[in-house]
Amino acid sequence: MVATKTVLSLHRPLVLSTLLTTKRNSTILLLSTSTAKPTQQLAPNSAAAEAELAHYIKHLDSCIRSKSYAQAKNIHQQILASNANTATHIPDPLLLEKLVVLYSQCNETEHARELFDKIPQPNVFLWNAMIRSYSWNGPFDRAVALFRRMVSRGVAPNKFTFPFVLKACSALLSLEDGVEIHDRARRAGLESDVFVATALIDMYMKCGRLDEPRRVFSTMERRDVVAWNAMIAGFSLHGLYEEVTRFLLAMQRDGIDPNASTVVAVLPVVGQHKALRQGKSIHCFCIRRHIHRDDVLVCTALLDMYAKCELLGYAQRTFDSMRFRNEVTWSAMIGGYVLCDEIAKGLELFEQMVVDGASNMGSTSLACALRACARSGNSGRGRWIHCYSVKFGFLTDTTVGNSLLSMYSRVGSIDDALQFFSEMRTRDTVSYSAVISGCVQNGNATEAFSVFRKMQFTGVEPDVATMVGILPACSHLAALQHGKCSHGSVIVRGFASDVSVCNSLIDMYAKCGRIELAREVFDRMADPDTVSWNTIIAGYGIHGLGTDAVSLFRTMEDSGSSVPDGITFVSLISACSHSGLVAEGKHWFGAMTRKYNVVPRVEHYICMVDLLGRGGLLEEARGLIRNMPLEPDVRVWGALLGACRVHKNIEMGEEASRIIQSAGPEGTGSFVLLSNMYNAAGRFDEAARVRVVQREQGFRKSPGCSWVEIGGVVHAFVGGDGSHPESSSIYEKLENLSVEIRRLGYRADTSFVLHDVDEEEKERALLYHSEKLAIAFGILSLGRDVPILVTKNLRVCGDCHAAIKFITLAEKRAITVRDASRFHHFKDGECNCGDFW
DNA sequence: CTAGGGTTAG
């Protein structure tokens, strides 16, 4: 491009002579006179040059018309290189026009713009070409800016200008610009022009307004397929299945035949609604009209529709029958398998693509395949795709990069995710969000905060998903101050009415011990969805407020707007379980199937076993497992084992643990329980053996850890922790407390100690449990009137539970402990869980 | 026509 510039200016003097003789466009004169220098080379052959140029232009024009862009560019190069006749280097106005059109059509927008800017007074045609180029390739705001400049220069936009600039508005989702341009079109009397009106419909639809398209559509002087398609595509975009079918029928009644684009516009919403019958009839329509045979778009849309309807056989058959496939075809098919949980087949297809469809490989296909890896936990394949992306240059693509981040976090390799994240060249909001939620999912909420801070520092704007990602980090840490801060941020950014954000806020407040604030957020919601109800019900559950959870469920029923799902009943039954409402829980378990058509899944049996087990009905729990229609997995037996441990039923516990052990490595989470069980039974060798097996199989027991937020800073402790700067005073406080509570009647229950050590040692180990450290620090740091909330990642140990009750007496203050199961509100020597947790 | 990050339970 620099070269072009040089050439043009070098030969500028010639322009004058040529133009003076041809007088094609006097404006060029103005351009050139200011910089005109004495010529070193006159143009004796200007007539010949002119002829040659004319020849080139004609050739160029015909190439552009026949869309032979490569050839056209070639001609441009010839003109540039043609030293034989220097006159051909001139910025001839007609040549410039052709070149602007050429490069704008080739989507080399910048190049086109450079040439465009050399034309002092472009005509409408050129403005349109330039605006069109921006509206296709972006930057879209430039199309709008150019439109404005065009208008201010007094050039009247025509019926081609409006569609182009409106397309840019839809890309920008800028309703404001769109409305302004609509106004101009109206004043220009072009509002009901078929092209303009269609573009208006499209723009309004994309910007989320459905009333205006209907109005514009009704005022149109005539409606062609494209206009109908715009309406249908718009409704399809908003998932309005009924409207789509209504317009589809109306269109045919109006004598307009649906075409391939119609079909392509309709099928996504058909798939979305799993309207298989409709989908099949569209398929038939395609066959009748011969519009699907080699149309990649139609076939891909059909394939996708079948996949969304979970008819993978039909999808695959459509896929196989296609003579031509593109990236979308492959991606849709792979994505279909992933959607239907046929992960292995999805990966298989990806492998086939690597062999047979490599030319179609693109970032979307890679993203689909990476999603499959993430879902299957197949980190090997994921890494392979990482390598593939490096090899074939896909790594710079943010979609691929973000998929990799997600894949690594989903398979548990958060370190790899962080490593890759640090190496990424461009990190957008999605990248940050992926890493933040990745950290939280992998249990590292602190890291999530640090990434979040870095994000704000870098100036990448958080969006709704980012906030939904960071709020669980607050929930996890029970970091109320961080949570409130995030809530503030949510309000400032205008996300406060987003349903998912509210759901996360409800969860955050509930888990930070402020159930009343959770309720407030819930009550303010315009229309809570099922997740909202589930979250608030579970919130009451973990606070031991089972009765409130049940009454809330009844309200949900009455409201009728959200239908209870499987998770609702998990939340409800476990709420009953945490409050000892055994009969109530049983009732809802029965009603679940009878009244709500929710098929019990393993999760529900886990809750039931937990409910019965905690209530001491161990036999009944075991009976339930034996009679359950599903295969009980290790988690079910784990729930029984947990109950056996609480109720110290060694025999049944052993039975449960045998079954869990026979399941092999699957029983990861149960290792801890099992080991604790043996420890509680005094069988330290067996307990140790379990831990060895566990280690051999590569499972690390997450260490018991407790934390407390003081002034917005989370202080974490592990058992026997000496790393805290205040350690010496914490231990001193604990020693004093130990004396005090003993005086009040506390006796250590050493059966909770995990190691085979002598009694005195055991007592010391108990004294330094992480929850006690955090509590001691809380007492030291917080004023008497400030409530103490300590969070523990595992269940609070039984000895600590007993000790904390005495501590509330000794210190005359309330203490709240949130463990893996629920909140324990300790006060005046009692706990609201009633020793039932 | 496809595709990247997100909420609820145990």
Nearest residue, CA→C1' of B2: A328
Looking at every residue in chain A, the average pLDDT score rounds to 83
**How far is Cα A531 from Cα A566, in angstroms, rounded to an integer?**
11
The nucleotide lying nearest A541 (C-alpha to C1') is B9
Q: How far is the CA of A308 from the C1' of B2 (A)?
A: 12
Report the percentage of chain A scoring pLDDT > 70.
Answer: 86
Q: How far is the CA of A647 from the C1' of B5 (A)?
A: 44
Q: How far is the CA of A137 from the C1' of B7 (A)?
A: 35
| Mean pLDDT of all residues in A277-304 | 89
The nucleotide lying nearest A467 (C-alpha to C1') is B6
Q: Is A26 or A158 the better-scoring residue by pLDDT?
A: A158
Q: How confident is residue A38, by pLDDT bands cut at 50, 70 and 90?
A: very low
pLDDT over 70 (residue A697):
no
The nucleotide lying nearest A267 (C-alpha to C1') is B1
pLDDT over 80 (residue A4):
no
pLDDT tens digit string along A391-442? 998 999 999 999 999 999 999 899 999 999 999 989 999 999 999 999 999 8
| Mean pLDDT of all residues in A679-689 | 53
* pLDDT of amino acid A61: 82
C-alpha atoms less than 13 angstroms from C-alpha of A303 in its C-beta half-sphere: 27
Q: How confident is residue A699, by pLDDT bands cut at 50, 70 and 90?
A: very low
pLDDT over 70 (residue A474):
yes
Nearest residue, CA→C1' of B10: A603
The nucleotide lying nearest A429 (C-alpha to C1') is B5
Alpha helices in A2-92 (DSSP H): 2-10, 12-22, 26-33, 46-65, 69-81
| Mean pLDDT of all residues in A108-123 | 84
* pLDDT of amino acid A30: 31
| Mean pLDDT of all residues in A48-60 | 78
| Mean pLDDT of all residues in A526-536 | 94
The nucleotide lying nearest A410 (C-alpha to C1') is B5
**How far is Cα A441 from Cα A413, in angstroms, rounded to an integer?**
11
**How far is Cα A801 from Cα A779, in angstroms, rounded to an integer?**
17
Contact call for residues A361 and A354 (beta carbons, < 8 A): yes
Q: What is the CA radius of gyration of chain A?
A: 35
Long-range CB pairs of A95-98, under 8 A, 24+ apart, other chains included: A95/A53, A95/A56, A95/A57, A95/A60, A97/A125, A97/A126, A98/A57, A98/A60, A98/A61, A98/A64
Element (H, E) at A682: none
Nearest residue, CA→C1' of B1: A301
* pLDDT of amino acid A665: 56
Q: How far is the CA of A529 from the C1' of B8 (A)?
A: 10
pLDDT over 50 (residue A725):
yes
* pLDDT of amino acid A57: 81
| Mean pLDDT of all residues in A346-356 | 92
Q: How far is the CA of A467 from the C1' of B5 (A)?
A: 11
Residue carrying structure tokens 């979040």: A452
pLDDT tens digit string along A159-176? 889 999 999 998 888 888
Q: How confident is residue A675, by pLDDT bands cut at 50, 70 and 90?
A: low
Contact call for residues A548 and A510 (beta carbons, < 8 A): no
pLDDT over 70 (residue A836):
no
Q: How confident is residue A759, by pLDDT bands cut at 50, 70 and 90?
A: low
Q: How far is the CA of A536 from the C1' of B8 (A)?
A: 9
Bases of strand B lying below 7 A from some protein CB? 1-10
**How far is Cα A311 from Cα A263, in angstroms, rounded to an integer?**
19
pLDDT over 50 (residue A18):
no
The neighbour count for residue A117, using CB atoms within 10 Å, is 11
Residue carrying structure tokens 């009137």: A785
Bridge partners, residue A792, by sequence: A706
Q: How far is the CA of A784 from the C1' of B7 (A)?
A: 35
Least confident of A21-25, A322-326, A579-583, A621-625: A21-25
The angle subtended at Cα A613 by Cα A611 and Cα A615, nearest 5°, is: 70
Nearest residue, CA→C1' of B4: A399
Contact call for residues A406 and A434 (beta carbons, < 8 A): yes
* pLDDT of amino acid A683: 52
Q: How far is the CA of A605 from the C1' of B9 (A)?
A: 12
Nearest residue, CA→C1' of B3: A364
